[in-house]
Amino acid sequence: MAVIRPFKALRPSKDKAQIVASVPYDVVNREEAKEQAKGNPLSFLRVTRSEIELDGIDSYSQEVYKKAKENLDRLKKEVPLIVDDVPHFYLYRLEMNGIAQVGITATFSVDDYENDVIRKHEKTRREKEDDRTNHIITTEAQTGVVFLTYGDVDAVNKIVNDTMKQNKPEYDFVSPDGIGHTVWVVPEKCDKQIINEFKKIKHLYIADGHHRAASAARARNVKKSSNKNHTGNEEYNYFISVIFPAGQLHIMPYNRVVADLNRLSKEEFLSRVSEKFVVEKSIKKEPASRGSYGMYLDGEWYMLKVRDSVLASSSLSRSVTETLDVSILQDFLLNPILNIDDPRTNKRIDFIGGIRGTKELEKLVNQGKAAIAFSLYPVTLNDLMKISDAGEIMPPKSTWFEPKLRDGLLVHTI
């Protein structure tokens, strides 16, 4: 049984929503965040990536989190950001290239997260958890939204469709990247039905935002330990998410770049790769099907296909996760040849979201910031759910969901 709750969102005035809204904190680096917020004192990046105002300061310094709180307090006054008088559910529609997906923004139970009612498919990095946990505790707000999914429910779909037809949106704008963002306040009369319909659902799934969910859980435990009168009903026991029907979601690949060839010459590297993969030069830059990989090296693209003999010799002992393309690349190339032992901690590998395309891979290699790049075929949502249900964990950075929600439109204060 999944718990879903309306909440009193902290949100911008209607006329300032587009100015405040920013990309999620974790899809831009420090320099990109600084550039996007340039000239806009109301950008929510000044809260989620407050280090952009503190040159020379480590991004994980306590000064950064104090600055985030200071900036959030400033935006409350200057935008202004206003807390709704009563709890609401909110609809959030994303539209990209003429295709729309609509989710319900609500708060979900940390207990459900910890008890596996809300299922995961990724492990998290400790330093990333530390960062957002400190951010939540210092600002006393969850500023980043977790991206959940579930199987379609006709009754919920009807509420969503009726709300959009019968009510004017609260926010409706197109962001600089061409994505449409529309938000509705769901009438209170629908709350009970939404809550009851989700009680019938056995499991929800994290599509994106594992670090945000894990950090909300850690922040809850900190707040709980310091509250002698803890009841379990406090806002810190819940975290903000937008939950979308699975059929509406679009997964893109999460590509890889590696800093060097592990002291191998180009010829030595290609020779070793060819032991496990068929290697052919290609004019194509992205794989057209599962089991194939694009590889960019020394100004040329290659297409790799894992040899049948390799799969046959290992298929009997491989779990659902280990049959994924990202796992095969890791197990038969990145680890044994390039010595990327643990992609979660190894500093020689980086991950490039599919929305950036193969041009970004070429750019990084051509500029010498990486020695080699790999483009992958995307994981399917069915793969994600199977792995989550099996209690398995995907390799890090296996899925990239697009389009992205905007930070700053709906904030959960704790």
Q: Note the Cα 72 to chain centre separation in Å.
A: 22
Contact between residue 119 and residue 388 where contact means Cβ atoms under 8 Å apart: yes
φ/ψ (deg, to 5) at 385: -70, -40
Residues forming CATH 3.30.1760 domain(s) in the chain: 254-377
Instruction: Let me know: does 17 contact 169? Beta carbons within 8 Å.
Output: no
Give the Cβ contact number of residue 31 at 10 Å: 9
Instruction: Give the count of alpha carbons within 13 A of 255, CB side only.
Output: 27
**In Å, how far are 7, 91, 138, 371, 384 from 1, measured between CA atoms?**
19, 22, 32, 48, 20
Quick count: other Cβ atoms within 10 Å of Cβ 176?
8
- The CATH topology of domain 254-377 is 3.30.1760
Distance CA(334)–CA(314), nearest Å, equals 17
pTM: 0.85
Measured between its terminal Cα atoms, the distance across the chain in Å is: 24
Quick count: other Cβ atoms within 10 Å of Cβ 347? Answer: 6
Q: Cβ of 103: how many Cβ atoms within 10 Å? A: 24
How would you write the pLDDT of the chain (414 residues) with one tens digit per residue?
A: 899 999 999 999 999 999 999 999 998 999 999 999 999 999 999 999 999 999 999 999 999 999 999 999 999 999 999 999 999 999 999 999 999 999 999 999 999 999 999 999 888 888 999 999 999 999 999 999 999 999 888 999 999 999 999 999 999 999 999 999 999 999 999 999 999 999 999 999 999 999 999 999 999 999 999 999 999 999 999 999 999 999 898 888 999 999 999 999 999 999 999 999 999 999 999 999 999 999 999 999 999 999 988 777 665 456 778 889 999 999 999 999 999 999 988 999 999 988 888 999 999 999 999 999 999 999 888 888 989 988 888 887 888 888 999 999 999 999
Beta pairing partners, 293: 304
Give the integer Cα–Cα distance in Å for 374 and 349: 11
